[in-house]
Structure 1
């Protein structure tokens, strides 16, 4: 499983000196997602000891090979595979990622409270806790420091109505290793997630919900396939009806079986619950309930509002202590 996309890896294709043709069951699909990696291409200085053009160790833009879809009517469609565009090297320096492919291990969040902090897959012994400045600013772990990293590249088939019966891999320069292939009919590019959103989750009262992340950045009751869960926290219950009568700095209550989930996901993604219940992301806007789980989208707060507090009698602008939250109790942070 990579980025929520299933792969069955058997005998990888080692592509170097000659073309390789692989027969597959006749498949009609809009998207073909390749799990692959290239070799490390060393930099070669000229007679003056200079490297020009400087493409980096990943040899940016170098034509590595061609992937060819062979349809059942005998026609073909060819895709050009370039280094650091459609494929990356199995080991690379910081900052030398791809423009059209992603590392096969998707980014995952850090814990907000520092308890049960997720651990990186590479160099666990040398990793320092608590997580310090840098990774903490992004609030995520990117597992690209492992001994071997594969890349995912999604190719859009221009003839999804035709059945593909074989693929031909043609070498051009260096070595490629193709480990897996997955096909599907996603509505849009399957590796491109939407912007951050929030959802309200109510789960059966008999279940206890732990908002903490395990060492793999996973929650114990809910996960998402084509996307990533960012945070999950108990929904705060504010005294909306009689808040004017409450004392200053009164802390809100919490509900034991209601959670606010923050996530980013593809439009075809689905949430998966501990009992096997599955709810599609596109069903969240109207809200849905299955097997005791209720999941509903929280409307985004994307409208800019400027607040100015004026002192009565003087018309002077005065500073105030301000807290703003949404209808579901979600905290709305100021922009400055």
Structure 2
């Protein structure tokens, strides 16, 4: 038997497609859901239909095989949950008859093993999955109205027509003679059944793992980065370039705390993958397939090179959820700053709530602002001196900075198995406040007032002027203006939402300390003001 073998239900089908609604066009014929093959009858009668008014008798499906798993494609046709009925309504029993006379009966319950379509908000099933996989948004294009959703990078899988539910054979190699579907009163359909001969869960349940992709040939490696990784029985994130510099060169660089040059080449790169052992992982660059590897082989061997053009390597060393505190060495107290964590390979580990790649490493003018800053290859997270999140076990490179009066910290720490705490220390090398000099920024756009306080303290700034302004037909920070400064609760920072007036010939004028707005903010047409002036 193949790794996954669809069986034909055509001779048993008793209802046509109209049972799920008039003028509907469900998917029929040879189908692939989550990388698994299924056969849905294309005859006039294409489903096994059950329930009151349809068929209340059992149907016996012959199997005569010893599957490790059986995957059902089915769908509930009516639900009373919106009317207040509790979840878990018994819809049917699927009874597995072994050739030795033993049986295994499994209850099929609403919102557990089966669900209705369309799926209501918050009505996902607990044990079944939709026929459509979770997926990535198109990386570089899409409708303007989806720009906000695009920042999430992902789309949740929802059912188009069916749900998939997997039964695991508890008797391993025992032969199943048939499957008996015993309906209750609720109407439902069975569209397809596929037998799995592999000892794996056909739906990936393990968390994603970091994978390094190397293109050995310079003709491939030196091309501008445009990599894509596809997984049939699983998921993969967007791939990203890894730093070109070795860890020692990065740690000893003169620009500690101030980012790193962006690697725009195609190699090396990394991606995160969650997949079944039988999954195929395809690596493409510039639209061309460079190679395909089996995920189970990659996990087993660690490194697989299917040809001379691509090498795939698992670099996941395991991870701990670590609480990090950055201490001011002079005061002994947590100090606001910005931080960056990475593995020796260069894979970033952002604190929870922050981004490893701000806006997917794309342009960020007035997009995805606040809480993070990207300096070339590196995205830093602004923290109040504490943060938490996943860090890889073993060596971790940390890069911590706070303005110009603290010595940046760029070093390697070791995360032991089970370690939950990490303490880092920053040293102030001068204190201009003590000499009555106070740093500030007179030209800041787009942040919220609280975001400006957070970033000001992370950069050791005393004052930030947050400027309202206009950009063509766009007005920004209107809601921040209150005509007076705000001071943080600890007194460390002052933010004054004030105004920048701009005109092509007269220039840009920053108006500090305004109690009332000066209108119009900008004039004389794009890009300062409205079209037509």
Aligned match for 1:8, one of 39, 52, 56:
39
Aligned match for 1:23, one of 22, 40, 62:
62
Larger Rg: 2
CA positional deviation for 1:105: 0.8
Higher relative contact order (CA 8 A, sep 6+): 1
8 Å CA contact 1:15–1:171 kept in 2: the answer is: yes
Aligned match for 1:36, one of 44, 49, 74:
74
SS in 2 for 1:308: strand
- How many residue pairs match? The answer is 300
For structure 2, list consecutive stretches of 5 or more residues without a partner in the other structure. 1-31, 284-288, 353-386, 388-533
Correspondence for 1:159: 171
Correspondence for 1:116: 141
Between the aligned partners of 1:281 and 1:287, the Cα distance in structure 2 is: 11
Deviates more, 1:203-212 or 1:288-297: 203-212
CA positional deviation for 1:19: 1.6
Correspondence for 1:271: 281
Aligned match for 1:325, one of 342, 345, 354:
342
Residues 300-331 of structure 1 deviation map (CA, whole Å, 9 limit, x = unaligned):
4436263535457x767655444332111111
Deviates more, 1:99-108 or 1:163-172: 163-172
**Structure with the higher strand share, 1 or 2:** 2
Between the aligned partners of 1:223 and 1:209, the Cα distance in structure 2 is: 19
Between the aligned partners of 2:321 and 2:90, the Cα distance in structure 1 is: 46
SS in 2 for 1:128: helix
Matched, 1:296 2:313: yes
8 Å CA contact 1:14–1:175 kept in 2: the answer is: yes
Residues 102-151 of structure 1 deviation map (CA, whole Å, 9 limit, x = unaligned):
1111111235xx6224x8xxxxxxx932134xx855x421243x7x4310
Tell me the TM-score normalised to structure 2 length.
0.50
User: What is the RMSD of the two structures over their aligned residues, measured on CA atoms?
Assistant: 3.1
1:175-194 alignment runs, 5 A limit: 175-194=187-206
Aligned match for 2:245, one of 227, 238, 248:
238
SS in 1 for 2:40: coil
Between the aligned partners of 2:78 and 2:327, the Cα distance in structure 1 is: 60
Residues 199-238 of structure 1 deviation map (CA, whole Å, 9 limit, x = unaligned):
00123635568647xxxxxx3xx32232101221122223
Residues 143-197 of structure 1 deviation map (CA, whole Å, 9 limit, x = unaligned):
43x7x43101111112232222322212112222111112224445332421122
Residues 76 and 251 of structure 1: is their aligned pair in 2 closer, same or farther, counting only changes over 3 Å? same
Between the aligned partners of 2:313 and 2:206, the Cα distance in structure 1 is: 17
Residues 260-279 of structure 1 deviation map (CA, whole Å, 9 limit, x = unaligned):
01122235534235366332
Correspondence for 1:65: 92
SS in 2 for 1:183: strand
**Structure with the higher helix share, 1 or 2:** 2
CA positional deviation for 1:37: 0.5
Between the aligned partners of 2:191 and 2:216, the Cα distance in structure 1 is: 41
Between the aligned partners of 1:291 and 1:170, the Cα distance in structure 2 is: 51
1:280-291 alignment runs, 5 A limit: 280-281=295-296, 283-284=298-299, 286-291=302-307
Residues 250 and 236 of structure 1: is their aligned pair in 2 closer, same or farther, counting only changes over 3 Å? closer
CA positional deviation for 1:33: 0.9
Residues 171 and 288 of structure 1: is their aligned pair in 2 closer, same or farther, counting only changes over 3 Å? same
Tell me the TM-score normalised to structure 1 length.
0.76
SS in 2 for 1:116: coil
1:138-157 alignment runs, 5 A limit: 139-144=153-158, 148-157=160-169
8 Å CA contact 1:87–1:153 kept in 2: the answer is: yes
1:190-209 alignment runs, 5 A limit: 190-203=202-215, 205=217, 206-207=219-220
Deviates more, 1:249-258 or 1:92-101: 249-258
For structure 1, list consecutive stretches of 5 or more residues without a partner in the other structure. 45-50, 120-126, 213-218
Residues 253 and 68 of structure 1: is their aligned pair in 2 closer, same or farther, counting only changes over 3 Å? same
SS in 1 for 2:230: strand
